[in-house]
Structure 1
Amino acid sequence: MKRLVPMLAFALSVFAPAVGSAIADDGEQCRDDAILVLDSSGSMAGTDMNSLTPHVAKVREALAAVVPQVAPRRNLGLLVYGPGQDSRCENIDLKLPPAPNSAETILGEVNRVVPFGETPLTAAVRDAAEVLEFREKPSVVVLLTDGEETCGGDPCQLARQLKAEARKLTIHVVGFKVAGAHTWLVPEKRAACMAEETGGLALTAETRDELIEALQKTLGCPLFSDASRMSKPPSSAR
C-alpha cells in the first residue's frame, strides 16, 4: 500500500497536465465562430425504402436536438444552398452570419426551407469561409449534405487553397444518406476530402439518431467532453 500511493501520485503528475491541456485546446476550438452549410437541394425532399419521411424532416429534427445545446457556447451561423427561383448553381443564401444565441433564428430558417435545385457545395463552403473571415481568425465550417457536388466544383482543390491561406480553418463534413454515392464519382471530388485536407471530421449518418451524434461531434465539442469525463473519478471510487 505504501508503494502504491507514490505510484498513483506519479501517474497523476504525468497524465493530469495532458488532460488539462486537451481540455484547454478543445475549449478554445469550441469558441471559434462556426457556420453550418446546409444542403437544401432537391434530393433533400427524397425518402428512402425504410421510411416515407423526407430527408429534410429528419435533418430538422436532428438540428432541433443539437443547435440549442451548442448556440449558447459559440457563435453560429447558417448558409443554405439549393432553393431559388430556378434550379441554378448560384443559389447560395447566407441566412445568418455567426451570432451568439442564434438557435431560434437558425431553426426558424431551417423549418422554412423548401428543398430544390442543385448541389454547389464547394462554392457554398468557400462563401462560408469568407463570411467567417477565416484568414484573420480560427473558423469552423460544418457541411451537412445528402449528396456530392453537382456544379463542377472541386472540393479537394478548394480545401487545399483555403488551408494554404489560413491554417486555422477546419471543415467538417457530415454525409446524410449518401452511402455508396461516391462509387460513381472521381475519388478526389468527394466532399469528405475537404475534411481530410483541413483536419476536420468526415462522418456519415443513416438515421436521425446517427445524424444527431454526428452534429454533436462537429458543431459541439466531444473531445472536450471526453477529457472532462477523464478528469473525474469514477462513481465507484467516490
Structure 2
Amino acid sequence: MLSPVSRRSAAHLAGLVVALTTVLVVAGCTSVDGTPSRSSNTAPAITAIAPTAIILDASDSMTSDDAPGPRIAAAKRAATGLIDALPDGSDLALLSYGTGTGTTPAEAAAGCRDVTTLVPLGPLDRAPMTAAIEAITPRGFTPIAESLRRAAALLPADSAAAIVLISDGEDTCGTPPCDVAGELKRANAQLQISTVGFRTEGAASDQLRCIADVTGGLFVEAANEAQLAARLLATQNGSAAATVNGAAFEGIDLGQSLTDIRRQHPDFPNTGIVEDDLTIVHWHDCDWAFDRSQQLVQIRPAEEVRTIDGVGAGSTVGDAQRFYGPPVATVKESDGTYTLTFDAGGDKAAYQVTASGTDGSAVITRIVVCRCLPTTAADLPSAPPTGLCSANHVTSQADYTHPRLGLMRLFTLTRGASSGDGNSCVVAVPADADRAPIVVDKMSVYKDELTLAEPVSDSTGNAFVNYNPGRYNGVLILVPTDSGFQPLTPQKFGEPSTGVRNFYGAELIGPGANGQYVIEQSSNDCTPDCAGGTITKTRYRWNGSDYVQ
C-alpha cells in the first residue's frame, strides 16, 4: 500500500533535503532483478549530509519472498546503492536489529535488545560498509524503539543529525517507537528521523509515519524493489511534495472534503465549473474534481507532473508496469487511445494513464489520479448485514457486476419456515463500501425455496432468482437501474406475464448460444379440472427492455 509522505509544504521539504533526506538516495532506478533501468527523474548531486545513522531491519519477516524475491535482498541492494551515492567524507553509521536471536518466546527478552552497530559513526568507507550490509542475516524480533535510542546515541547531541530507518513491520517489543522518537527530538531539536516502510500497511505504516511526523522527517512506502529505489531517490532530491504520491498531491489526498482542503490551503478556490456531475476546481496548475458531496475524487495534474516513481507524460507503459504491475483495467477510447488503470495503493487509489497503445513501448501522454480502482471479490462481505429484512438464513449467494454500481454480492435470505408475508428477501451488497446495501424485495416463499440462478446473470446484464411461493416454481428478474434494480411485482399462476420482473409457473432455460436465458412459462386451462387440464408452454426472450414471446 502506497501512502502519502508526511504533509508539509514543498519549501519545508526542500529545507529538509540538505539536513537529512539527501541520505535517502540511490544512483538511479533499478529493475526488480537489481539491474539498472530507465528513470524519468534526474537527481542533483549530493554535496553534503548531516551525520546520519542508517538502521536496516533484519527481523524474521525480512526473509519473506515477496519483493519479488527475499525482502532482505531488495533492501540490501537499495542500501548499497545509497552508500554508493553518498559523497566522500560523509559521517555515517550503520545499525541493524534482529540478527542475533530468533523469535521464540524464550528469546524475547534478548531479542528486544538485539540491536547491533555494524559500522560506528565515522567518515564513509564504502568497502567495509558494503561488506557489513551483505553479511546481514535476518532472524529475530523488531525492536524499533531500542534501535532509535542506539542510533541517536551515536550521533551529535546538539547539532544537525539524521536517522534513516528501513523496516517492513512494526515494533514487536512493546515500547511505542513514536514516543521514543518524540523523546529523542526533545533531547536534540535538530534530529530528524525518516522512515521507509517496505511492504508495510495498517498499524506498521501508521507507526513508521508517526516516527517521521514527530521528528520532522519524511515517511514513504514501497511495495517492491523498483518502488523502493525510486522513492529513496525522490526523497533525496526533495521532489516528494511536488510529485503525485499514491492518492496525494500537494499534500492533498483523495477523499478529503473541499472544506478541509480550504482550511488547509486558504487560497484554494471555493467554486469551479460543473462537468459530468463533478465540480472541477483549478488550483496550482492542476484540476481537482469533487463529487456531489464535495469530496475529492480525481486529481488531474499538469502534464509535466510525475508520480513519485518518475512516471508521467513521456514515460512508457513498461515504466508504469515495472512500478505498479499489470494494469487492472484497459479501455479503448473512441479516438483510438487507451486508458490503462494501475493500482496506486491506498484506499482504492489508481493511476489512469492515457497511452497510444498497451504494449510496453506505448508512450504515456496523460496521468490522472482517482479513487477508481476496480473492486474485486476480496472487497465483498462473506455474509449480508443483519437487520435488512426479517429473514436471516442465507440460501444462496453469487457475485454480480451491476452496470452502474459495479461489483456486488447478491444474497437470498429466508426464515426457513412455511410461507408467509415477507418472510424472504434478496439483498445486494456493493463492493464499494461507500454504497449502502440494497434490499431488492421482500417476498413470501415456501420454506427456503429461494435461490440465485447459476449462473446468476447472462449477457443481458440482468440477474435471475428462482423461487417457489408454495406450489409452482417461478423466476424473478432483477433488472438494473441507476440506483439499484426495478421493483418486483407479484404474479399468480395462469395470469398473463407481468413483463420483465416476475414470471410465476416458469423456469429458466439456458443460457443459450447467444449468452441469454430464455424464460419458459407454463399455463393450465384447468379444463375439465386443473389436474387434467391442458398445459401450454410459452417462451419469452429479452428484446433489450422486456421479455417478449
TM range (shorter): 0.7 to 0.9
Question: 1:151 — aligned with what?
Answer: 173
SS at match of 2:208: coil
Does structure 2 retain, via aligned residues, the 8 Å contact 1:63–1:212?
no
Give deviations 1:112-131, integer Å, cap 9, x for gaps: 11100000011101110111
1:177 equivalent in alignment to 2:192: no
| Structure 1 vs Structure 2 CA RMSD | 2.9
Q: 1:42 to 1:168 in 2, by over 3 A?
A: same
One-letter code aligned to 2:149: R
Query: Structure 2: which 5+ runs fail to align?
Result: 1-10, 21-47, 104-110, 242-549
Task: State how far apart, in whole Å, the 1-side matches of 2:149 and 2:224 are.
Answer: 28
One-letter code aligned to 1:204: E
Question: 1:83 — aligned with what?
Answer: 99
One-letter code aligned to 2:151: A
Does structure 2 retain, via aligned residues, the 8 Å contact 1:44–1:56?
yes
Q: 1:159 to 1:181 in 2, by over 3 A?
A: closer
Query: Structure 1: which 5+ runs fail to align?
Result: 1-18, 227-238
Work out which of the two has the higher radius of gyration on C-alpha atoms and give 1 or 2.
2
One-letter code aligned to 1:127: R
After TM superposition, give the deviation of residue 103 of structure 1 in Å.
Answer: 2.5
Give deviations 1:32-80, integer Å, cap 9, x for gaps: 10010110011111112x73x1100111121222220115262221001
Does structure 1 retain, via aligned residues, the 8 Å contact 2:101–2:139?
no
1:45 equivalent in alignment to 2:88: no
Task: State how far apart, in whole Å, the 2-side matches of 1:120 and 1:153 are.
Answer: 8
One-letter code aligned to 1:99: G
Does structure 2 retain, via aligned residues, the 8 Å contact 1:36–1:77?
yes
After TM superposition, give the deviation of residue 81 of structure 1 in Å.
Answer: 0.3
After TM superposition, give the deviation of residue 193 of structure 1 in Å.
Answer: 1.0
Question: 2:221 — aligned with what?
Answer: 204
User: Hey, which of these two has a bigger chunk of helix by percent?
Assistant: 1
Task: State how far apart, in whole Å, the 1-side matches of 2:143 and 2:161 are.
Answer: 21
Question: 2:233 — aligned with what?
Answer: 216
SS at match of 1:192: helix
Give deviations 1:116-167, integer Å, cap 9, x for gaps: 000001110111011113x222100000001000001212211221111111
One-letter code aligned to 1:41: S
- What TM-score do the two structures reach when normalised by structure 2? 0.33
SS at match of 1:65: helix
SS at match of 1:163: helix
After TM superposition, give the deviation of residue 209 of structure 1 in Å.
Answer: 1.8
**Aligned residues between the structures:** 198
After TM superposition, give the deviation of residue 102 of structure 1 in Å.
Answer: 2.8
Task: State how far apart, in whole Å, the 2-side matches of 1:38 and 1:27 are.
Answer: 22
Q: 1:204 to 1:222 in 2, by over 3 A?
A: same
Question: 1:123 — aligned with what?
Answer: 146
One-letter code aligned to 1:153: T
- What TM-score do the two structures reach when normalised by structure 1? 0.73
SS at match of 1:110: helix
Question: 1:65 — aligned with what?
Answer: 81
Q: 1:182 to 1:95 in 2, by over 3 A?
A: closer
Task: State how far apart, in whole Å, the 2-side matches of 1:45 and 1:24 are.
Answer: 36
Does structure 2 retain, via aligned residues, the 8 Å contact 1:31–1:73?
no
Q: 1:151 to 1:199 in 2, by over 3 A?
A: same
User: Hey, which of these two has a bigger chunk of strand by percent?
Assistant: 2
1:166 equivalent in alignment to 2:188: yes
Does structure 1 retain, via aligned residues, the 8 Å contact 2:158–2:190?
no
Q: 1:112 to 1:71 in 2, by over 3 A?
A: farther
SS at match of 1:223: coil
Task: State how far apart, in whole Å, the 2-side matches of 1:69 and 1:129 are.
Answer: 23
SS at match of 1:58: helix
Task: State how far apart, in whole Å, the 1-side matches of 2:227 and 2:78 are.
Answer: 9
Task: State how far apart, in whole Å, the 1-side matches of 2:133 and 2:62 are.
Answer: 12
